[in-house]
A = this chain, B = another copy of it.
Amino acid sequence: MTNFDKTHLNRVRRMSERGHYDASTIYPIIDEALICHVGFIEDGRPFVIPTIHARIGDAIVIHGAKASRLLKHAGAGNELCVTITILDGLVMARSVFHHSMNYRSVVLFGKGELIDDPDERLQAMTAVTEHIMPGRWADARGPNELELSATTIVRMPIEMASAKVRTGPPGDDDEDYGLDVWAGVIPIHQHIGQPLDDPKRTHDVAVPDYIRRYGRTLSATVARDAT
């Protein structure tokens, strides 16, 4: 797998021991997160917009309506910064100063490019749908011509990348361990609730296995909370 060079742009400066530059750390964070935040510049101003994503090899793909500011801008070849953050816990130290969070975040840099080829467009749409809900693409009604023509799909080959990861208990100053202040970690994870049937359904359809299994799949990540 890819390893990214440390450069002026992606080098983790603060707490550099938390920095990672290998795809084997970075890509699983991208793949686990349900959303990303895309940064771009328009009229000299920074914009940050949340969206759904998928990874195909060494590229991020995003999609949306043709009219969207994000997609218009991303598809025009501009520099993008895609940031993904997964929160794993609140770190309560004895001193206010050493409070922190346990998290896994990645910062990705690259330029957006429109995907025009029909097969590549379908591949990207499949990847985004399957990223959110594996098994869904084969079950739901696929896009028709009108829907395809209303959708812009953008690929951002990852030029530079870094991850920053904090795990484990608080790190207090030596002289603070004797204080009568509770310290430790409060784990946080995304909880997947029971599927709620569409109240507008015209007939009953059983919840498919891939949706029933979904919460259990994600809960595998909860073990990571136990620092």
Contacts and interface: CB of A to CB of B under 8 A. Distances in A.
Given A90-B132, A95-B140, A46 B81 contact: yes
A37 B93 CA distance: 24
A95 B199 CA distance: 16
Contacts of A142: 95-96
Contacts of A41: 41, 44-46
Interface residues of A, number: 99
B201 A87 contact: no
A225 B193 contact: yes
A192 interface: yes
A196 B200 CA distance: 43
A191 B189 contact: yes
Nearest to A9: B45
Contacts of A187: 192-194, 196
Contact of A140 (B64, B65, B96): B96
A188 B191 contact: yes
8 contacts: A34-B90, A39-B48, A97-B151, A99-B140, A169-B200, A182-B205, A184-B197, A193-B222
Interface of A: 9, 13-14, 34-35, 37-41, 44-50, 52, 64-65, 67-69, 79-83, 85, 87, 89-90, 92-97, 99, 101, 103, 105, 107, 109, 125, 129, 132-133, 136-137, 139-144, 147, 151, 169-170, 172, 176-203, 205-208, 211, 214, 222, 225-227
Given A188-B191, A188-B193, 13 more contacts: A34-B188, A35-B103, A39-B46, A41-B46, A45-B109, A48-B81, A87-B190, A95-B147, A180-B205, A181-B205, A182-B205, A185-B195, A185-B196
